[in-house]
A and B are shown apart, each in its own frame.
Chain A
């Protein structure tokens, strides 16, 4: 279970996250939507401590960290509980696919090499990239790279995987294979917190959709409710705009 209590992030005078309260159950798939520049990435990055939250508490599993008193040790512990999938894949360019996946097990969890590689090979099979085990990121397609990045996140065995617009940098031809892998993870009830503009993914996969604007949660609920019967005018407005610019999204489920 993940619990954020009054989580805030300020950049100087700018309040980017404004006292966010959020609880995510184990195995829950939560999708965050909202206009750009409203703090969606910052929220995920704070959970992973890629940004230091200004105040509030973050609890993941049985680890709880108060932002104001977070020590280096707390931060490392929190990062080990949370895995991150970046928009631009961010694979280690000097490591092959299998090494990218095994890296965390070897270096952070200090597994013996054989064990780590065995686990990495299992994950490669799962993400359908066994034949790319020894390929470097530079020789893989965007879709393959993002699948390896998801594999790297899976290897962490983290409580939650945080996805920050995982398909936004992809050529359209690779989007489906990445969404497919995410659906597979969702079906296994891997806890996921996903920022995306893929409304069809939100509609089909999410247990809960959260609409964020101005660093606050404006509205949340099951996708059927948010998409068909949004209550807040800001949510309605956003959905109208995004559905207009993305005709591929079905209007009715």
Chain B
């Protein structure tokens, strides 16, 4: 028979095994980036952010906040944000479709539930894609990237967007008619010109990829 201390120890040991594994499972990009340097960070994270949710899917949600608090490099905070965004998009409500050819000025559109807009300072999305495909990690690029994550069916995909396309998507965070959405962007001449040249292509892409769609 175990002593009382050893009895508690069984549960403590199980916690120390299970929780870090669950956190790392949600941080696959960061795992590729940091390798063996990740588990000590996860142990530290769990000390400061013990799980407060019933679902293991959400145990890593504060990891970007934790990394920022210890002044981790920007590619690490970017990657944590990307990993968590992927995790949310993976189980978000399914996206709805619309036919871009039927678009009217009054058509109401909204970003679909699995869509996440990200402003990143590093090319972590390339690193993550390469790692998950088993490829060599590309060199990290430090620049402003506007990225949209979306889930047309079950797999998460991403696109790197031109500034005007990113602004266009931002105009549909809540249900908005096409005319009103475009109106908010017309003040800025540079954006307006880019939209004039590309709107048709972009809307077809957003429709096909189920990035924009009808409200619920």
Do the two shown chains form a genuine complex with each other?
A: no
